[in-house]
Amino acid sequence: MKKLLNAPSDLVKEALAGMAVAHPDLLRVQLDPAFLVRADAPVRGKVAVLSGGGSGHEPLHGGFVGRGMLDAACPGAVFTSPTPDQILEATRAVDGGAGVVHVVKNYTGDVMNFEMAAELARDMGIATETVLVNDDVAVENSLYTAGRRGVGTTVLVEKICGAAAEAGRGLADVAALGRRVNDHGRSMGLALTPCTVPHAGKPSFELGPDEIEVGIGIHGEPGRRRAKLEPADRLTEMLMDPILDDLPFRAGKDVLLFVNGLGGTPLLELYVVFRKAHELAAARGLRVVRSLVGPYITSLEMAGVSITLLEVDEEMVRYWDAPVHTAALRWGV
From candidates 28, 58, 72, 242, binder to a second copy by CB under 8 A = 58
Stretch that binds a second copy, among 46-54, 95-103, 242-250, 262-270 (CB under 8 A): 262-270
The catalytic residue among 61, 184, 219, 278 is 219
**Shortest distance, position 73 Cβ to a second copy, whole Å:** 13
Q: Identify which of 295, 259, 263 has the alpha carbon closest to the alpha carbon of residue 278.
A: 259
From candidates 48, 133, 157, 212, binder to a second copy by CB under 8 A = 212
Site string for a second copy, 63-102 (x = CB under 8 A): x--------------x------------------------
Cis? peptide before 203, omega within 30° of 0: no
* Beta-carbon contacts of residue 93 (< 8 Å; ≥ 6 apart): 30, 35, 37, 41, 42, 72
Collapse the DSSP code of 277 into the 3-class scheme (helix H, G, I; strand E, B; otherwise coil) and give the result: helix
Pick out residues in 18-47 that bind a second copy (CB under 8 A): 18-19, 21-23
Within a 10 A sphere around the Cβ of 1, how many other Cβ atoms?
12
Pick out residues in 134-163 that bind a second copy (CB under 8 A): none
Burial of 3 (0-12, 13-18, 19+ CB in 10 A): exposed
| Rounded Cα–Cα distance for residues 290 and 309 (Å) | 10
- Cβ nearer to a second copy, comparing 58 with 311: 58
Collapse the DSSP code of 96 into the 3-class scheme (helix H, G, I; strand E, B; otherwise coil) and give the result: coil
DSSP assignment of 157-190 equals: HHHHHHHHHHTT--HHHHHHHHHHHHHTEEEEEE
Q: Identify which of 169, 213, 156, 225 has the alpha carbon closest to the alpha carbon of residue 189.
A: 213
Q: Applying CB under 8 A, does 263 fall inside the site for a second copy? A: yes
* Residue 57 annotated to the active site: yes
| Rounded Cα–Cα distance for residues 99 and 222 (Å) | 37
| Rounded Cα–Cα distance for residues 125 and 256 (Å) | 37
DSSP code at position 152: T
* Residue 219 annotated to the active site: yes
- Cβ nearer to a second copy, comparing 88 with 249: 249
Q: How many residues bind a second copy (CB under 8 A)?
A: 64
Q: Applying CB under 8 A, does 265 fall inside the site for a second copy? A: yes
Q: Applying CB under 8 A, does 307 fall inside the site for a second copy? A: no
- Cβ nearer to a second copy, comparing 116 with 238: 238
From candidates 126, 240, 297, 327, binder to a second copy by CB under 8 A = 327
From candidates 133, 300, 307, 322, binder to a second copy by CB under 8 A = 300
Q: Identify which of 99, 91, 159 has the alpha carbon closest to the alpha carbon of residue 326.
A: 159
Collapse the DSSP code of 213 into the 3-class scheme (helix H, G, I; strand E, B; otherwise coil) and give the result: strand
Q: Applying CB under 8 A, does 193 fall inside the site for a second copy? A: yes
The catalytic residue among 23, 57, 61, 102 is 57
- Cβ nearer to a second copy, comparing 84 with 223: 223
Q: Which residues bind a second copy (CB under 8 A)?
A: 2-7, 11-12, 14-19, 21-23, 55-56, 58-59, 63, 78, 192-193, 209-210, 212, 229, 231-233, 235, 263-275, 278, 288, 291, 293-295, 298, 300-301, 303, 305, 325, 327-328, 330-333
Q: Which residues are catalytic, by number?
A: 57, 219
